[in-house]
């Protein structure tokens, strides 16, 4: 579990989150070119004897590198679709241990075979 960052740490991390725009543009272009190749050329959907499955290298690897460049952030929801968080949250109660019910002795019970 990660510790909760202080506001000063959060500001410092936000300042260091700057992505090099040249690398971002290069990876975005690689993803676009790979997608175009995989969609338009049937040979790009196959395998190569040396490097293996081509869509992996043409599309998936550049896309995962681009995602890693942005520190694996998920896309943010648009403001029109975003649901505001509730103002207050009730505290969660700890679960209570279930209790066993007392057995009722009955005269009509049959003995169990071992």
pLDDT at 46 over 90: yes
User: Which DSSP string corresponds to 79-93?
Assistant: TTTPPPPPS--PPPP
The least confident of 16-20, 35-39, 69-73, 102-106 is 102-106
| Mean pLDDT of the chain, nearest integer | 80
pLDDT of residue 52: 93
Tokens of 36: 């175009």
Taking the whole predicted model, whether its pTM rises above 0.85 is answered as no
pLDDT band at 108 (very low <50, low <70, confident <90, very high): low
pLDDT per position as a tens digit, 6-36? 665 555 555 556 888 999 999 999 999 999 9
Identify the CA nearest to 66 among candidates 38, 28, 33.
28
pLDDT of residue 90: 66
* β-bridge partners, 48: 52
CB 31 within 8 A of CB 62: yes
């Amino acid at each position: 579990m990660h510790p909760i960052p202080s506001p000063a740490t959060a500001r410092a991390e936000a300042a260091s989150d700057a992505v090099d725009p040249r690398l971002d543009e290069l990876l975005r272009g690689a993803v676009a070119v790979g997608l175009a190749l995989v969609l338009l050329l049937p040979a790009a959907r196959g395998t190569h004897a040396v490097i293996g499955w081509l869509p992996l290298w043409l599309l998936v690897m550049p896309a995962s590198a681009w995602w890693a460049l942005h520190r694996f952030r998920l896309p943010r929801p648009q403001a029109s679709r975003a649901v505001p968080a509730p103002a207050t949250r009730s505290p969660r109660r700890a679960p209570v241990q279930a209790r066993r019910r007392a057995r009722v002795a009955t005269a009509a019970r049959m003995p169990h075979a071992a």
